[in-house]
Structure formats: C-alpha cells, structure tokens
Amino acid sequence: MAPHNPFDTSATSFVPPGSKYVLGTDDLGRDLLSQLLYGVRTSTLVGGLAAFIGAILGIVIGALAGYYGSVVDDALSRITEVFLIIPGFFLALLIISFYGRSIWYVAIVLGILSWPQVARITRAEFLRVRESSFVESARAIGASNRQIVFKEILPNAISPALVAVMLQIPRAIILEAGLSYLGLWDPSTVSLGYLLYSSRAFYYNAWWLAIFPAMALFVVTLAFNLLGDRVNEELNPKLRNLVFSPLRS
Amino acid sequence: MNEEEYYEYNCEKDYNHLNNTSENVCFQRPRLRQSDASYNLFNSIMTGNITVFATTTNAVSIVVYKCAINMCTRTIPTTRTINLCRMLVDCCLSKLKTKLCAIFLTIIIIVALNFSHVSGQPVSNPMYGGTFVVALDGDPDTLNPSITTSTYPQQIGGLMFSNLLSYDANFKPHPDLAQSWDVASDGLTYTFHLVHNATFHDGYPLTSADVKFTYTQVLPKYMSTMVKPLSYVSSVDAPDNYTVVFHLSKPYTPLFLLLSTPNEGGGILPAHLYSGTNVLTNPNNYAPIGTGPFKFAEWQKGQYVKVVRNNNYFKAGQPYLDQVIFKVIPDPTTRALALQNGDVNFLWFYTLPSSEVSRLRANPNLVYKSLVPAAPDEVMMFPNERNRILNNTDVRHALNYAINKTELVQKVTFGLAKEARGPIPSAYGPAAFDPNLPAPEYSVSKANQLLDKAGYPRQSNGTRFSLELTWIVTLGEMGRAAELIKSQLALVGVNLKLAPRDRATLIDTVFNRWNYDLFIHSMGTDPLPDVGVARLYVSSNIGHNAFNNGAAYSNSTIDALWADAATTTDSAKRTQSLYRIQEILIQDMPMIWLWEVNDYSIYTGDFGGVDPPTTSNGAYYFQEVYWTKGSNVSPQSAMQAIVDAQSKLTALAKQGNNSTAAWTLLQQAQAAYKSGDYASAQRLAAQAVQSSGSQGSPWGLTAGLAVIVIAAIVGVVLLRRKRAQARKD
C-alpha cells in the first residue's frame, strides 16, 4: 500500500509535500507518507496487542475475583489496586530502559499496565450476574463451575469489559507515542511517536514532518474511540435499542 | 609570524551545501588586509613625520600633517585613505605649494565633516565592557580544567586558569605564563622563565612552585591526555621563584605542544590551595582560584556559571569583557531561539544543531563562522575484530565501500562537515596528515564483490549477514547516521540491527564486555595524533578503558611507528612515520572513518574577536572577545582617573578649596564605573578635577577645534588671495 519503502533514503532531504512524495520527505530523504502508513500499522499493532494482553489478564483475574468472592476476591482486588496505583508511564520507562527497545516489550508493558481497569469492570459484572436468577437455576440443576462461568455468566458480563478493552487501544497508542517521543523507541521500526520525536529538530525546516504524524495520531486514536463507542452501543441491549426502548417499556 | 603563512593556513575549502559549490573562506583575510594597510599607512606617516620636522618648520605644513595623521589613524585603512594620507604627507614635503594645500585643506574639512559616512565603521579596536552569554546543554561536571578533558571544564575553566604557553593555528608556541623558554639541543631539558606579575585571584603570586606542583602532583595523575607525555618527564625543578626546568628521560617531541590549556594541558593550579588535599574533591574545583583573565563569580547548578573580569590579569589591557555567563539550556531548539532573540550571544557546533544553521545564517544580526576542518574530531565506526565476520579485512573494506560518506555529510550534517580520508584528520595539516591519501570511494559493486569473495553470498532473502550497530542514544546525529548507514548497507545485503544505548550501558557493553558488532561515535583526536589518534590503534591499549582500542586491532609495525613518531626529534622523520601509519591503517581498515567534524559558530553581531579554536576539543576560549558597543576606555584607566581625581580633590580640600560640585561629579564617575560605562567614568572624573578649579582642560578637544578653525581661516585667506590675484589679472 505504501508508495515507497519507508527505510529507503535515496530521495533528497526535505522535499516539501508534492506530487512525487505526497507528504514530502524527512531529513534523511525517506518518504513521509510511507513512514506514516507503517507507523499507523505499528501503532495499531502495539495498541491491539496491548489491549489483547490486557483483556486476557483482566477478564481472567476479574472473573476469578468476581466469581469466587471472599478470600480470592480480596487477594486479587488488592493486587489490582496495587497495579492501579503504579504510575504506568514510569513503569514503562523503567522496564524499557532495563530490557531494551523493542515494540514487543512496549506492547507487553502496556498490556500489563492496562489490565486492572478491565479486571475491575469484569469483577463488578461477575458479582452482579452471579446473584441473578438464571445463575441460581443453573447452579440448582448441578452445573459445574466451568459451565456456569463460561456458559452463563461470561456471555452476560463480557460486554462492558469488551468496551473497556476497546478503549484501552487508543490509550496504548498514545502511551506508545509518548514513550517514542521520549526517545525510547525501537529504531528498526517506524512508529508515529518516533516520527514526532525525530521531527522535533526540524520545526523550522520542514513543518510537514510534525504536522502529518500528529494528525495521523489524532485520527487513529479518535477512530478507535469511536469504534469503542460503537461496540458499546452494539453490545449493550439498552443502548442498541435506545430509540425505541422508552416507547416499548 | 610570517603573514603569508598565516593567510594560507586560514583559507580552507568550505563546502557550501546549499548550491553544492565550494568557495574559499578566509577568516583572517579582513584582519590581514587591515594590518597590511595599517602597516603601509604607518610607514608613510612615519616617513612624513621625520621629513616634515626635519626639513621644515613651517607651521601650516605641520598643521596639515597633523590633520593627516588624525584622519588616517582614525579610519579603517583602505586604499583610498592610504592614498589620501600619502598625498597629504607629500604635500607637506613639497615645500608647501599653496594651491595644492588649499585644495587639501578643503578636502580635510569635508572629510572631517563627513567622517562617519566616508570611513564606514570605526577600526575594530577591542572595546571594554559588556556581558557575553554562552549557552551550554548541561552543567559542567567540574570547573577545573586540569583533572578532566571534558569540554565544558576546559572552556569555562580555561578562562580562569593559564598555562605555560599558548599556541597559534600552526602550533607555534607563544608566551603565556612563561615569558621565554629554552629547549636544550638534545631535547631532554626544557627551561621556562615565568612572568613576574601573575597573581592568583586570591592575591597569592604565581611562582615556580605552583607550576611544579601542577606538573608533578596533578596532571600526571588525573589528566588523561597528559599521563603518557608526562611519563617521559623524569623530574621538574624549580631553581628559583620564576624558573621551571623539565628534565626528560628521553626525547618526546609532542610534550612541548601540550603545555597550554586549550591543548588539554590543564591549567596551573594554586599549590597553596591544593597541596596535601584530595585534588579530585577539592572545593576549589567548583569555585576556582586561578591566574586567568576571568574570576569565578557564581555557579547556580543547572542554571548558569558566571565569571567576571580579573582586573589584575598579568597581560595588561586584557580581558575586554566585564563578564561571561555560561547559561544552561538543555533543549537545542530553545537554544537556537534564544540566540535569535539575543538572550544568548554565542552557540557553536556543540550546542547548535546543524539543522538550524542555514536558517540562523540568513539572519543579518548574527555572524556565522566556520572552519572546515577545524576541530580535529572524526566520526568513525568501530568494527569489533572479535566478531568472526568483522575480523575479515575484506568485509571491513566492503563496508567501507558500501557506506556513502558524501550522502552522510549531506544528509546528517547538512553539508557542514567533510568526508574523512583516514585515521588522522586533515586539520592537523601536512606535518601529520598525508594530503596524497586517496579519497574514500563509494562503490556498491566493489562491496558486493568483496563480500562474495569473503564467503558471504546473498541468501534467498537477499541478505548476507546481520550485524548490530550501537551508539549513545542522546547523540541525535549518530542516530541519524546509523539509520542512513542501515539503509546504505541494505543495498549490499548487510542487515543492520539498530541498538542505541545510554552512555553508561554503552561503555559497559562496548569497552568492558566487548559485546558489540559495530559502534559509531565522534572521537576527539586531540590534542595531538600521538595521543588522540594513537590510542585507538596501538595494541597496548587493548583493554577495558573506554574509548581506546576496544576493537582489538593489533599490528606490531603500527606500534613501532607510533613510538618512532613520538620520540624522534627530527620533524621530517616524524612526518614520514605518521604518513606510513596512515598508509598501513587504510590497508588494514581497523576503523571505518566517516566524516571530519565541522567547526562552526554563530554569534550576535555586536561582539568581535570570536575566533574558532585552533586546536580543538570543541572548546572555545573567550579571552579576546569584546563588545563592539563597549567603551574605548579600559576599566583600569577609568579607575586610575577616578583615583587621581580623588587624590587631587582631597589635596584641594585640605587647602580649604572644597567644591561640592566636584565631589558630586566624582561620585557620578564612580557610579558610571560600577555600571560598566568606563568612558563616562573617565570623562566625569576629568570634569570633577576641572570643576574643582585646578589645572587641566580637555586640551584634546580644544586642539582639535583649533586645528579646524585654523584650517578654515587659512583656507579662506588663501582663497581670498587667489581671488584678489584673479581680479588683478
């Protein structure tokens, strides 16, 4: 899809946006549009992976806490709270400076940082659904714990958690961009934050180097936020039928 | 000094990156022209002087002559003014041809009236006063230039300390603390005679004991550049207070070129404050007491370091600036903006990103200076010879062919640097740098051939092998170079993995654990090839010392040649050895030399005397910088005038002749002195004396007026006579 190889430096430096290089070239003569496209891909990948890791961890921990309650709930909730009070950005900084720069580390770190919110929501949902009559009935007819959790509770409790996961994606993208902007990027890959970081020295020479990545970052995060809203609407029966629901009831 | 030589040395090719042309840039040219012209002028005036007073006692001719001197010494000597002066002087000599003289007198009056328009700028004499603000990117770690080679301590500390000698661009020694010196013919004994009037800022006189202390207790222990050279010094003697004798165990020519602060030779420390203490933790390192032109004033950590004029500096008339402030501004873009706004007066290649240069250069209020090459620093890539792939000379040559240095210079340094030719930077000049070295060649096909030959054919995915390239992550230029090299090497099938590290981790990885493939860094080769260049290639330096021969290159011929070059007293032989070293190193390619670091500076146009450092560790020295808006009067003479006036007024007061007006004027003079306006201070002091009723008048002004009035009268008289004659005819 990209018109040029994003690492190809054969073009002249600082070509302004035009017909050959649609968004211009950077200081080393790389095509900005191609870099942007790769950057969006990297950012989405990192965001998606982080959200996925966060979702798995969060839902499992939240489910355990919510379903079993008592001691398990207490222990897991305290762990969740500990993770919630850790300043995520600084933990990410620390881990990356210790273990090296790689987008996989960034994704994993962001995933580890984003699970507590999901876990809390899942736990709350589990607590609510656990007490409902259909779970009682399932339990009454002798369903196993696994059956109850996966067949009865999870489908009814997962939608708010999924919405929270969707909203973790733009958050992870922004965090990744922040880390890259501080220079903690993986130089073998292109990311939006790194594009912004390297444009810093050339504000006066090449405005396009800062403007376009910033716009791309804005558009990508906005898109994921809107997607999250949409998922929320689709999954929540009350919201899905918002227009009709007052009339019906 | 031979002016011809000076002139040539300073003319260097400057690659103009904007239109890819090259132009000659000569920094000393205007100054040379000026001195050249002044010399002519001086000659004609002096001959005139002798002849006029010897041959004629005619009052008018002397008046004309004085006008000539007045005019000629106050303008920039251009061809026009020189010719005018010559004609005036000739006129005085030619038995006063009245007509000619009438014409010349008219000219003089016209010139005097249109003085500023005709002559343009005044002669750039150093002016006194002013504050010079220099931006740094971070705090210096210490202010003592004798315990570290780090740039900021050299630069700031260099203003507060002095050493035995100073050097010009040709490594020619000039007196500093040593007013004269003798070198024994066998090269084993150096005798230095110190100046008698140098004092430390705390009032203690500088004696040979301080020099001896510094050269025996401090520099050989803590100054990395001096450790090896001073190991040849068997003893330092101080036979009397102002004589220092160095005894060497065997001849070591480079030593003599290291005895100055700008050459990383450190500064002479006060023995009375340092002896018996731990030199590294002495509080004096953070609030130095030295003999330099500036005194330490204040250091607000993370904000600024301030130094102020030392009025007791041993070189009379210096320094010119009132104070120099080194301001910490961490962000490069902010530094560039501060320079643009005039909040900062000076940025140089250490503190000004090359991307900002072309924009600031276009600003008419700023002066751009560049010396290519000036700083003998080179950016180079260290291939680790412990790596199986890089141990192959063919592979290293292939990498060298595959890296396009011209593109690096254009895209990474914005055309402000110069492609490197070999291990010794061309800034060292033909005495060390072999000008016949072949220019580096960029050839993808040769690189491919060599790699095929070395046994690394392209695999199915097009790559031959992968290597890791590391650099210090805060050095943005290195990072950009690494990205460019990655894309260049991809063309020959070498896959680079980029792995920047922070400084401490990098030093540990590269120089301690030797766990790297390629490492790119800007290496200072100062102060001399024997120290700065040799450290990277001699086999005795294979070890865990940072920035030494971490690549584990070993060649006994090279080791022997370096030793020869350092110990021979014959400069031709030394050059021969150095040329041979370059030849062998280029064959062996233990290092891939990329580009010679450029030296550029940009400063606000209201300052003068900013010269690029001649031997550079990237440190600029501001000893001779002056403010063009300052006053002609030196603070010393203003202070003298005030003191004189005070004593006169006191004497008069004792005689009962007390004038309050005079005392008020004197107070105003003192206030003006404090605010740095030395000209007003001197004028007010003189007025105070005058208004007290004592002798003394501004005779200069009166004399000047008298000259013009007399000239006018004479002119009118002559014209009248001429008219009367015309009427008669």
Q: What is the pLDDT of residues A98-148, one digit of tens each?
A: 777 777 887 888 888 888 888 988 999 888 888 888 888 888 888 888 888
Question: Quick one: what percent of chain B has pLDDT higher than 70?
Answer: 78
Distance CA B500, CA A194 (A): 14
A203: which chain B residues are within 8 Å (Cβ-Cβ)?
A: 333
pLDDT tens, position by position, B357-394: 888 888 888 888 876 545 568 899 999 988 999 999 99
Q: Burial-class residue B204 by CB neighbours within 10 Å (0-12, 13-18, 19+).
A: middle
Contact assignment for A200 to B333 by CB distance below 8 Å: yes
Distance CA A160, CA A235 (A): 8
Mean pLDDT of A31-52: 89
B133 touches chain A (CB under 8 A): no
Mean pLDDT of B226-245: 88
Contact assignment for A205 to B486 by CB distance below 8 Å: no
pLDDT tens, position by position, B20-39: 333 333 333 333 333 444 44
Q: Burial-class residue B116 by CB neighbours within 10 Å (0-12, 13-18, 19+).
A: exposed
In this prediction, residue B77 has a pLDDT band, given cuts at 50, 70 and 90, of very low
pLDDT for residue A44 is more than 70: yes
Kindly identify which residue of chain A lies nearest to residue B482, measuring between CA atoms: A187
pLDDT for residue B447 is more than 80: yes
Interface of A with B (CB under 8 A): 7-9, 13, 27-29, 97, 100-101, 183, 187-188, 198, 200-205
Residues 6+ apart with CB under 8 A from B89: B44, B45, B47, B48, B52, B65, B68
A8: which chain B residues are within 8 Å (Cβ-Cβ)?
A: 487
pLDDT for residue B55 is more than 50: no
- Which of B332, B407, B486 faces A201 most closely, judged by CB atoms? B332
B468 touches chain A (CB under 8 A): no
B497: which chain A residues are within 8 Å (Cβ-Cβ)?
A: 188
pLDDT value at residue B85: 56
pLDDT for residue B61 is more than 80: no
pLDDT value at residue A130: 85
Q: Which amino acid is at B533?
A: V
Q: Pairing state of beta strands B377-383 and B592-596?
A: antiparallel
Distance CA A245, CA B69 (A): 105
In this prediction, residue B12 has a pLDDT band, given cuts at 50, 70 and 90, of very low
What the block records as the tokens of B262 is 């700008």
More confident residue, B101 or B156: B156
Query: Reduced to 3 states, what is the DSSP secondary structure of residue B419?
Result: strand
The top-level CATH class assigned to A32-248 is: mainly alpha
pLDDT for residue B620 is more than 60: yes
pLDDT value at residue B98: 57
Mean pLDDT of B606-629: 75
Question: What b-and-e string marks burial along B656-681, b requiring 16 or more CB atoms within 10 Å of the CB?
Answer: eeebeebbebbebbbebbeebbbbbb
More confident residue, B1 or B598: B598
Mean pLDDT of B686-715: 75
pLDDT tens, position by position, B281-320: 888 889 999 998 999 999 998 899 999 988 888 888 788 8
Contact assignment for B333 to A13 by CB distance below 8 Å: no
pLDDT value at residue B281: 87
Longest dimension (CA), chain B: 112
DSSP B14-79: EEETTTTEEEEEESSHHHHHHHHHHHHHHHHHHHHHHHHHHH---HHHHHHHHHHHHHHHHS---H
A142: left (phi over 0), alpha (psi -120 to 50) or beta: left
Mean pLDDT of B667-694: 78
Contact assignment for B407 to A200 by CB distance below 8 Å: no
pLDDT for residue B423 is more than 70: yes
Instruction: Let me know: does B268 contact B162? Beta carbons within 8 Å.
Output: yes
pLDDT value at residue B625: 86
Question: Quick one: what percent of chain B has pLDDT higher than 90?
Answer: 20
Contact assignment for B499 to A200 by CB distance below 8 Å: no
pLDDT value at residue B170: 65
Distance CA B215, CA B268 (A): 8
Query: Reduced to 3 states, what is the DSSP secondary structure of residue B440?
Result: coil
- How many residue contacts between A and B have a Cβ separation below 8 Å? 52
Contact assignment for A7 to B482 by CB distance below 8 Å: no
pLDDT value at residue B265: 78
B179 touches chain A (CB under 8 A): no
What the block records as the tokens of B561 is 């040649």
More confident residue, B180 or B40: B180
pLDDT tens, position by position, B485-544: 999 999 999 999 988 888 778 888 888 888 899 999 888 776 678 877 888 888 887 877
pLDDT value at residue B26: 31
DSSP A116-133: HHHHHHHHHHHHHHHTSH
Lowest mean pLDDT among A61-70, B60-69, B209-218: B60-69
pLDDT value at residue B71: 54
Please name the helix (run of DSSP H) or strand (run of DSSP E) that holds residue B704, with its range, or none: helix B699-728
Mean pLDDT of B560-564: 88
Contact assignment for A13 to B483 by CB distance below 8 Å: no
pLDDT value at residue B586: 92
- Which of B353, B480, B497 faces A188 most closely, judged by CB atoms? B497
Mean pLDDT of B557-575: 86
What the block records as the tokens of B318 is 């210096």
Instruction: Let me know: does B134 contact B327? Beta carbons within 8 Å.
Output: yes
What is the average pLDDT value for chain B, to the nearest integer? 78
pLDDT value at residue A240: 60
Mean pLDDT of B675-695: 75
Kindly identify which residue of chain B lies nearest to residue A28, measuring between CA atoms: B411
Residues 6+ apart with CB under 8 A from B206: B177, B194, B198, B199, B200, B268, B270, B291
pLDDT for residue B476 is more than 90: no
Residues 6+ apart with CB under 8 A from B425: B373, B376, B377, B378, B433, B525, B596
Contact assignment for B359 to A204 by CB distance below 8 Å: yes
B407 touches chain A (CB under 8 A): yes
**DSSP at B356:** G
Contact assignment for A9 to B407 by CB distance below 8 Å: yes
Q: What is the dihedral of CA B480, B485, B491, B492, to 10 degrees?
A: -170
In this prediction, residue B444 has a pLDDT band, given cuts at 50, 70 and 90, of very high
Query: Reduced to 3 states, what is the DSSP secondary structure of residue B434?
Result: coil
Mean pLDDT of B247-260: 82
Instruction: Let me know: does A181 contact A196? Beta carbons within 8 Å.
Output: yes
DSSP A70-86: HHHHHHHHHHHHHHHHS
pLDDT for residue B272 is more than 80: yes
Instruction: Let me know: does B156 contact B305? Beta carbons within 8 Å.
Output: yes
- pTM, two decimals, is 0.68
In this prediction, residue B165 has a pLDDT band, given cuts at 50, 70 and 90, of confident
Distance CA B649, CA B484 (A): 74
Distance CA B233, CA B98 (A): 72
